[in-house]
Structure 1
């Protein structure tokens, strides 16, 4: 619920406001993750298909967190105050992303220590990586480019949430699945409102 909510209510509107071709980039992000999923199922997870339950979200959240790092670099280039305020909001949502990634990796059959480490890398370390990657290029990243990157990220997260995880929850048909999705929606709404 959280990934879908953040994508539709936060990332996509921002991307559309920055780049009129955002829907094309949204589709590119979605289809890219579809192809990655097909590759992982065909070549990586042929013996343990549950591994994809954790790997696909790991990649999607890692991409999104890397783009968060790009956003940090851009906001700090405006002013230290703007960057600090944006960083506080962005840091608040890295923690829930890490928890979601950790849980999905556990469900994918990863050990607790490996799931923790991979979730930490995807949700926390990729953000500073994105910042350091963007710093030398900061003057070449304009609003259109950022809009395109946000749309690709949103497409990846829509794929992860709506195409990869939601059908899995429906197949399992556990009583708490709907409640967990609702909690994800409310957590995402809280995060979005702190950004507003």
Structure 2
């Protein structure tokens, strides 16, 4: 079979399969999903931070020379600041055309409505950012799958299933974030499925331009990592501080740790499977 067709099929498997598996979360009854959703936010925080610090950032630094470490670190910093500015613009846009028009005769009531709308739009912007960040991340996954296929077909197949496996818990977290941001189940599924297709785009792009993408790949990884760090720290963690009782706090900590441990475990398993399939790590610097 033509190698390009294999890349398209298995990048689709690596991206779409994880979304389809995670979408089982959306099939739960409303009362069950509403009960699980706050816990899902805690889990998503751990998953996003683990993907960034355990997966994307180390891999990015493996792909560059020591003299490029500072520029790569600067990319992560610029990404965090850039996502802050982007979220500000998203909130400003929503407020400028929506909640800021709420002011009228009853100033106190409208001020309360304005603040409520502002928080609502802040949650909505978190959903927009997770879609953007996940799209970048999936694009990079597609590049890695295509690189594996160009090395060895068996390694490419193994890598695509490894990507799908470690993406599932993160996609569950993404669904939780989108629902928390006010998206309906249908819209959450549609946008998550849409971003999963950037895996195919990354694979096809890498198939034709892998040599040219090699130097920029670490910076894609850094930008994806910065988006996940920003979302977890700036948007999700503050929402956990609304409940300060001991029981809820301990549950939040436990679920964050669970998200970290699961992603780290799956990442280690996927890495070991890749090494077993080829005898060497996927990194092209090895």
TM superposition score category, shorter chain reference: 0.7 to 0.9
The number of residues matched between the two structures is: 194
Task: Give the structure 2 partner of residue 168 of structure 1.
Answer: 239
What CA distance in whole angstroms lies between the structure 2 residues aligned with 1:186 and 1:65? 21
Give yes or no for the alignment of 1:28 onto 2:78.
Answer: yes
Partners of 2:234 and 2:142 lie apart in 1 by: 26
1:130 corresponds to which of 202, 214, 220: 202
Please name the residue that 1:56 is paired with.
129
- Greater alpha carbon shift after TM alignment, 59-68 vs 19-28: 19-28
- Residue by residue over 1:5-30, the C-alpha shift from the partner in whole angstroms, topping out at 9 and shown as x without a partner, is 12112211111121223212212322
Post-superposition offset of 1:179 = 2.8
Q: Which residue of 1 aligns with 2:88?
A: 38
- Corresponding residue number in structure 2 for 1:16: 61
Cα offset for 1:43?
0.8
Q: Which residue pairs with 2:224 in the alignment?
A: 153
TM-score by length of structure 2 reads: 0.62
Unpaired segments ≥5 residues, structure 1: none
Structure 1 length as normaliser, TM-score? 0.88
CA distance in 2, matches of 1:108, 1:3: 16
Q: Which runs of 4+ in 1 moved over 4 A?
A: none
Unaligned runs of 5+ in 2: 1-45, 100-119, 272-286
3-state secondary structure, aligned to 2:242: helix
Alignment correspondent of 2:257? 182
Q: Mean Cα displacement is larger for which, 36-45 or 174-183?
A: 174-183
Q: List per-residue Cα deviations over 1:105-128 (Å, max 9, x = no partner).
A: 111111111112112222x22211
Is 1:102 aligned to residue 142 of structure 2? no
Deviations 1:82-123 (A, max 9, x none): 22222121111232222211111111111111112112222x
Q: Is the 8 A contact 1:61 1:97 kept in 2?
A: no
Q: How much does 1:178 deviate? A: 2.2
Cα 1:28/1:70, change in 2 over 3 Å: farther
Whole-angstrom distance in 1 between the partners of 2:216 and 2:166: 23
Q: How far is 1:81 from its partner?
A: 2.0
Higher relative contact order (CA 8 A, sep 6+): 1
How large is the Cα RMSD of the aligned pairs? 2.0
| Secondary structure class of the residue paired with 2:197 | helix
